[in-house]
Structures are given as structure tokens and as C-alpha cells.
Amino acid sequence: MILDLIATIYIQQRDLESSLRCVFERMDLFQSPLLVDSLLSYTQRDIAGIYRSLGRWEECISFLNKSLQSLNDREKESFMSERRRTFINIELASSMLRCGRLQDAISVAEHSMKTMGVLTSHETRQEWKLFCKIVEECSSKLVSQALSGLTMKEWIDKEEAREKLEEEKA
């Protein structure tokens, strides 16, 4: 679709706000219930990804929750729907960790692990290993932040500035 192409170009040019507008326009175009049902969860994840790139964590979390709800409303239990839920939950929990909502992230992880008992594929185990690594990393960052005496926002800003400086040097 043309709007997808335009949104992709904006993303490549780092104009994420314009990309976000294109994605919202795409959502407005699809008023057919069939199209909305099939695309809504993916579009909401696209929007969440753009908000993540902008560092707007609460909006990212909001759209990931909407995507998860759309998936729950639309799809019956199946292996593929559970895999999608797993991916969304990993994104959701890591976004919650990123903005300092450790307890919420743990709740998402615990709930997901209870409902995922039937999934034993190698990919799913790898996804949860990745999630556990994210939890471990963010937990150590939370401890580091607490010891530094900075607020979470100040500490995240400081860490992002340090990471950006390292990228520029490389």
C-alpha cells in the first residue's frame, strides 16, 4: 500500500512523527470490519514500534495493550495466535521495564508463562530466554539507577546519552 511505503520512507529518514501520521491515516482508511479485524492488531503494533522509537513509552505500552486486546477479541486459541501473544507480551514487558514499571513487567511475564504451558517450540523457548535476559538487564539497571540517586527518567536520559555517544564514536 502507498501509505505503508510513505511511512517506511519517513522511518528511514528518521521522521517518526510523519510516519506515525501515515499509520493513523491507514487505520482511518480501513473501515470495513473484515479489513479492520485482519489488520488492526498489526497496525497497533506498528504504532507501538514508532512510539518506542520516539521514546514515548506510555503510548507504546498503550498500543501494545490495544494490539493484544484486538488479538484476543479476534482470534481463537491456536499455536499462531499464542506465538503472536508471546511476541506482543515480550514487547510489552520490555517497554514496561524500559520506563521503570518493573512490577507490571513481572506481572505480564507471570501471566504469559501460565498461559503458555502448551507451547514447547524451540522458537518460543528462545523468545522467553530473550525476555529473561531483558528482565535481568533491566533489573540491574534499576538497581544501578536506585544507587545513583537519580530519578528513573534522569537515569534513562543519562544512559541514552551515553549510548548515543558510544554509537557516534563507533
The count of other CB atoms within 10 Å of the CB of residue 135 is 17
- 83 shares a domain with 67: no
Its domain, for residue 51, covers: 1-74
What is the spatial distance between Cα 94 and Cα 109, in angstroms, rounded to a whole number?
10
Q: Mean pLDDT, to the nearest integer, of 74-93?
A: 71
Question: Which element (helix H / strand E) includes 29?
Answer: helix 16-29
Q: Determine the pLDDT at residue 4.
A: 46
pTM: 0.52
Asked if residues 35 and 78 have their Cβ atoms less than 8 Å apart, the reply is no
Boundary of a domain, candidates 14, 49, 74: 74
4-28: pLDDT as tens digits? 444 454 445 555 566 656 666 655 5
- 59 shares a domain with 26: yes
- 96 shares a domain with 68: no
Q: Determine the pLDDT at residue 36.
A: 47
How confident is the prediction for the chain on average, in pLDDT?
Answer: 67
- 60 shares a domain with 94: no
- 163 shares a domain with 126: yes
Boundary of a domain, candidates 40, 74, 108: 74
Q: Determine the pLDDT at residue 91.
A: 80
90-120: pLDDT as tens digits? 788 878 877 778 778 777 876 776 665 544 4
Boundary of a domain, candidates 74, 93, 113: 74
Q: Work out how many domains the chain is built from and give that number.
A: 2
- 61 shares a domain with 121: no
Q: Helix 33-54 vs helix 57-74: angle between axes, to the nearest 10 degrees? A: 160
Residue 119 phi, psi (nearest 5):
-90, 125
